[in-house]
Structure 1
Amino acid sequence: MNESTRRHPATVTAAPEVHQPTPIVVRPAAPVPVQPHTVPSVASVVLPDGRIVTGYAVDPVQPEPVTAKPVVSRAAVNIALGGVGFLAVCGGLLLLTTFITALTALITQLITLAAVLFGGFIAVQALTAGSRGGGRTTVNIRKAVIKRNHVHS
């Protein structure tokens, strides 16, 4: 290293920091007409280090006005809507029970009809079996005398 490029630690001075403000350019899409009484005032503030900051004064934020309460509370509305829903469900349940009752009656009638048809079929088979030529069975019944738990025939 050269002597000219080498610096002695005691002779090194800190470089001053320079802050250059960057202007912000705002170009509105269309010019907005401003009424004379709405032009904000410009305020200047001197900082402790001597700098002066200039800008528009900011108005304090106004709280939202309190809205009037509705005449009917939300709880009452919710209870009323719940009642309407309950009535709708009860009507549906009534229709469901009516449908189940009608279905049960239909199934009962079908079972009864099947029993009558099956019984009629069996009766027809039994009665027509006797009219056929073959298959007759003769049963002889004798007079039995019962004396003291003993059968004499």
Structure 2
Amino acid sequence: MNEPANLVPGPREATVEVHRPTPLAPVPSAPVVPVQPGTIPAVTSIVLPDGRVVTGYTLEPAKTEPVTARPPVSRTAVNIALGGIGFGAVCGGLFLLTAFVTALTALVTQLIILAAVVFGGWVAVQVFSASGHRSGITVNIRKAVFKRNHFHQ
């Protein structure tokens, strides 16, 4: 009922592919270099307590590098700490510089306002003062007549 309609009944045969590796060509062996007689270590034999004999080359123990003493605090940590101290010092200086610039700006603003008040007062005194000699030329024009775009007195 739930089977696809295009299936053909009967046994199925699967095709099998066989892959055979290709043999590699033989590699010629490296030439043997004669060894100097002084470099071959001597062969020694040791008789164990149970009677067995062990024969082999004597080897020199491996020399270890001397371990340098490490400081208790890493250099990176010291550099970070010094950088933090320097940053803190710079921040304090920047705070003082900011305060100085703010105070200087307030001083300049007050000086400008003071100059405007003083100069404005001086101008007001000069304009509204009734006493004293006024400088300038006063011209009284009487019976001025304009004829044909010419001024006649």
Q: TM-score range by the shorter chain?
A: 0.3 to 0.5
TM-score with structure 1 setting the length: 0.43
